[in-house]
């Protein structure tokens, strides 16, 4: 981060078993407790409500904007009660949430803002990097994120006192075991070697199968308030930490590549049935994936799978990947956030990493041209 060595030092030091663990620790450091409420957006991944529930607090869902992927500031304001203790703001896919009104709401209600930067390090609001706008931020390094280190996450805050409180909690956390280190190192190597857009569907299916049999560390743990994952008292695995220390500078390279690829997607994919993302004024988006809203999502995904072209379908649910019958477990009532539910029916996303080449972009542009 050109402007701030402090940022890099903290992100490398305040590391945890996962991004969601970093969030839980930030909440604890802010003295959020059992029974308190934390506002988050629907159209998120299970990791976020899981972290809130892990400390005994309650996730309160605010809907996203009618046409976007991020929280609607008006919905934030109306979700605030006298139990609210924090607001989590997700910059979905790297697109910035509407930070000016959100910051104003948080200031008026004296509530801390926690930025979910799992999809981007280098997106900007009025020239400032995400993660430095709110009170604190968290990051994730698992598969599919801009910086991949296996599994793990970080916390960041510009507030020295809060950073100390986070470090204190971390100092009581356990190190990974040798066996966990070995499993993660192996998983990281296998994925790094195998991953390319043409193998996306095969890798996805294989990974799901392996994690079902506990042979790989999966992304999703079953949600239960009485059964908190041991990850919530663990630091980042040593193998992942080594990769983070070595690869951190890569975020700039990633950003350059991401800008290049998204520029060619936005130029090459033309169809009345596709809506491209629209970054807000005063913002710059460095995408984790390039999100498109499409008319017939299922048919398009089938075609992509047949053509062996990477196209992700998440989020498939307002609390990805929970099925409707499980939403209540995460304190979400079906129908509560109609925009989020609508977005799940429309969203597909394309990769922006360094394995994407011109051939892939050609093929994907053709798929859209012929499908829609």
Ligand X SMILES: *Cc1c(COP(=O)(O)O)cnc(C)c1O
Residues at the interface with ligand X (CB under 6 A): 18-20, 44-45, 47-48, 90, 116, 118-119, 140, 142, 153, 219
153: which 2 tokens?
């996450």
Q: Is 125 or 315 the residue whose CB approaches ligand X more closely?
A: 315
The residue (of 62 and 269) whose beta carbon lies closer to ligand X is 62
**∠ at Cα 360 (190, 265), nearest 5°?**
120
Query: Least separation, in Å, of the C-beta of 135 and ligand X?
Result: 17
158 vs 321, which CB is nearer to ligand X?
Answer: 321
| Closer residue to ligand X, CB minimum distance, 44 or 371 | 44
In the complex with ligand X, which residue's Cβ is closer, 195 or 368?
195
| CB of 371 vs ligand X, minimal distance in Å | 27
**HEC sequence for the chain:** CCCCHHHHHHHHHCEECCHHHHHHHHHHHCCCCCCCEEEEECCEECHHHHHHHHCCCEEEEECECCCCCCECHHHHHHHCCCCEEEEEEECHHHCCCCHHHHHHHHHHHCCCEEEECCCCCCCEECCEECCCCCCEEEEECCCCCCCCCCCCEEEECCCHHHHHHHHHHHHCCECCCHHHHHHHHHHHHHHHHHCCHHHHHHHHHHHHHHHHCCCCCCCCCCCCCCCCCHHHHEECCHHHHHHHHHHCCHHHHHHHHHHHHHHHHHHHCCCCCEECCCCCCCEECCCCEEEEEECCHHHHHHHHHHCCCCCECCCCCCEECCCHHHHHHHCCCCCCCHHHHHHHHHEEEEECCCCCCHHHHHHHHHHHHHHC
Token couple for 314: 């998440």
CB of 145 to ligand X, least distance (A): 6
**What is the nearest approach in angstroms of ligand X to the Cβ of residue 367?**
25
CB of 93 to ligand X, least distance (A): 9
Least distance to ligand X, CB of residue 299, Å: 26
Nearer Cβ to ligand X, position 19 or 59? 19
- 140 or 331: CB nearest ligand X: 140
Nearest distance in Å: CB 90, ligand X = 5
Residue whose CB is less far from ligand X, 45 or 102: 45
Nearest distance, CB of residue 151 and ligand X, angstroms: 7
């Amino acid at each position: 981060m050109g402007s701030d060595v402090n940022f890099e030092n903290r992100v490398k030091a305040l590391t945890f078993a996962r991004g969601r663990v970093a969030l839980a620790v930030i909440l604890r450091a802010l003295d959020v407790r059992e029974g308190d409420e934390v506002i988050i957006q629907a159209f998120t991944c299970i990791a976020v409500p899981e972290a809130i529930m892990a400390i005994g607090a309650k996730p309160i869902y605010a809907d996203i904007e009618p046409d976007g992927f991020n929280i609607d500031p008006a919905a934030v304001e109306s979700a605030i009660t006298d139990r609210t203790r924090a607001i989590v703001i997700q910059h979905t896919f790297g697109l910035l949430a509407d930070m000016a009104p959100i910051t104003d709401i948080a200031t008026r209600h004296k509530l801390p803002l926690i930025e979910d930067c799992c999809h981007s390090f280098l997106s900007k609001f009025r020239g400032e990097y995400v993660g430095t706008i709110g009170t604190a931020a968290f990051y994730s390094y698992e598969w599919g994120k801009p910086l991949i280190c296996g599994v793990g996450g970080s916390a960041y805050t510009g507030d020295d006192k809060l950073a100390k409180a986070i470090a204190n909690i971390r100092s009581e956390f356990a190190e990974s075991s040798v066996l966990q280190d070995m499993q993660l190192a192996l998983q990281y190597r296998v994925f790094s070697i195998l991953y390319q857009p043409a193998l996306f569907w095969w890798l996805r299916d294989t990974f799901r199968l392996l994690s079902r049999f506990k042979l790989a560390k999966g992304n999703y743990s079953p949600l239960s308030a009485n059964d908190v994952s041991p990850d919530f008292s663990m630091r980042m695995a040593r193998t992942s930490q080594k990769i983070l220390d070595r690869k951190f500078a890569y975020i700039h390279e990633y950003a350059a590549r991401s800008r290049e690829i998204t520029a060619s997607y936005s130029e090459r994919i033309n169809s009345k049935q596709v809506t491209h993302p629209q970054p807000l004024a005063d913002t710059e988006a460095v995408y984790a994936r390039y999100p498109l809203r499409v008319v017939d999502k299922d048919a398009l995904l089938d075609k992509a799978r047949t053509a062996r072209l990477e196209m992700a379908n998440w989020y498939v649910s307002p609390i990805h990947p929970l099925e409707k019958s499980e939403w209540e477990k995460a304190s979400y009532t079906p129908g509560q956030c109609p925009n989020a539910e609508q977005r799940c029916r429309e969203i597909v996303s394309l990769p922006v990493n360094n394995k994407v080449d011109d051939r892939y972009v050609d093929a994907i542009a053709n798929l859209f041209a012929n499908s829609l």
